[in-house]
Amino acid sequence: MPIIVKERQVTMRREPKGEMFEMHFKVHVPQLQLTREFNFKRRANETLETLLVRMKSNMEKAFGRKLKKTKNKLEIEKGSPEERRFVQITADIRKEGKAVPHDLTCEQLFFNKKFEPNNIQFLLCGIPFTIAVNVPYIRSIALPAVSMTNLPVYPLKFVLKFGEKEKSTFKWHISDDNGGWTYIGEGFSYYPKSEDVGKQLKLDCTPSNGRISGDMMSAITANPVQQAPTPIPYRRRHEVTKSRVAYPTFRVVSYNILADRYAETEAANNELFPYCPNYARAWPYRRAMIVDELVGYNADIVCLQEVDTKAFEYDLSVFLKSQFKGVFNKKYTVDEGIATFFNRNRYKLLSNHTCYLGVEVDQNSIFADIWEKIKDNKELSERLRGLGTVAQAVVLAEEESPEKITVIGNTHLFFHPDADHIRLLQGGMFAKFLVQVVEKVRTDKPSSAVSLVICGDFNSVPSCGIYSLFTQGLAPATLQDWTSKEGEHVVGLELRQPFDIASAYGTPSYTNYTAEFKDCLDYVYYQKDKLKVTSIVPLFTEDELKAHTALPSIVCPSDHMALIADLTWTRP
């Protein structure tokens, strides 16, 4: 039976060590007016004989169904040799023109290191089909609903299989007045210009792994480019961070980026941020500002809080991947968490550690003294165990000087007006967790210098016990924090931590700035016997913060400000 196809190719895909593989090919039979794509999902350990039987069966069913609809037009008699010719499919596999034993498994033939697809062909109804294994392809790609001048537009939900983003090509086009497209540049992202306002963008992506390329896929913006609001305050801060710092100095950013799940709630609309337009609080509007702000800081280490899982996967990781590697930990109770990114060209990741404070308070022996003081208070202990707060410790070695190791702590402590005692308990646990990690690094690397940097949104003002714990090493049992809620008082608990720590920004008037609340909640702590601050980037001015009432706003994507500090190693 004549089979005509534009591309006589069988495409096969299998994830590394996957039990299953996917198989795809297309046929066209003019006599039956049939064009059909066949997709199979089979086990890699099944024999070629089983695979060929399944292929023939599926093709015969498809052709038979089509023949029933068209045989009267073709004047084909039922049961005639001509009918059998249309529905009887032959399928075989040849290697260098010779038959391949059908008792081989698909894995043995197609997915071993010696596989050479140019030497093997499928014969379908006598027609040779070439084989392509793990050709790069794009599983999904889209462009944002909101695109603004001088802010990056980049692929969303970009999932590339069997290829590398850095080796794929991205070509941008702008719509013209004649309904066509004009080429405007290449690259993973594009920054629209003023002349692009009112026009749509199109992206053509051709996936590649450096050896072979797959089929191009396109995406078009649903809405035209719009003019971005000005001035954007973080751009003034970018003037200070135009260039990168070099060893022994490194730049740290800590930033609560405001999770989407909190920015668009009813409480956000009516109570928290009613002064900020709904569209400006939506993630499609804020995402480009967040990544643009972060990239402009030219940091070596970036600690983020309130990171939605989808924001990490589809925005931050994708956009920052070429330079940064990221470690993400979701909270135990909600779909947002904390992320630490580090410059992959500067640091080697030695290890990363995670602690779910609520889950581990009664299970991890390092918290035994804390648990002993609160376990009999049912209301308090259940409240603490029910919180999903997570802490990270990422251990990094300088590529240029591997004996210099930095432990980066990152967390976002619980927020509630009556929870000073909860936060202090969590702060004490976080400190113990970091002590354990640092001690392990010192044991494993006894000849190395180990420093500690602690970032996060502690939801705690400088007058509270957490600041005392980290900067003075002590949170005494007499603190007022321990009695912040009736019925949950913590009695007789003193917290200590052994590091000589200071706050890079000291205690600024505010790092969080909303209409109802303004204060210092975010910190970059550093071990001052190993490190010193060489510079910090000034925060927004009062005029910038008040320009649109408060944060967030149409020019500020979060209710917090990023802290940016340059730290340098001091001599032993």
**Active centre residues (catalytic):** 457
Q: In degrees, to the nearest 5, what angle opens at C-alpha 431 toward C-alphas 427 and 435?
A: 170
**Spatial contact of 137 and 215, defined as CB atoms under 8 Å apart:** yes
**Spatial contact of 148 and 192, defined as CB atoms under 8 Å apart:** yes
Nearest to 149 by CA among 10, 342, 288: 288
What is the enclosing helix (H) or strand (E) of 330?
A: strand 324-330
What is the enclosing helix (H) or strand (E) of 86?
A: helix 81-87
27: exposed, middle or buried (Cβ count in 10 Å: 0-12, 13-18, 19+): buried
Neighbouring C-alpha atoms within 13 Å toward the C-beta of 147: 29
**Spatial contact of 387 and 421, defined as CB atoms under 8 Å apart:** no
**Nearest-angstrom CA–CA distance, 285 and 144:** 9
Nearby residues of 16 by Cβ (< 8 Å), 6 or more positions away = none
**Nearest-angstrom CA–CA distance, 523 and 410:** 10
**Nearest-angstrom CA–CA distance, 38 and 36:** 6
**Spatial contact of 253 and 247, defined as CB atoms under 8 Å apart:** no
Cβ count near 403 (within 10 Å) = 11
Dihedral sign for Cα atoms in the order 256, 257, 260, 265? positive
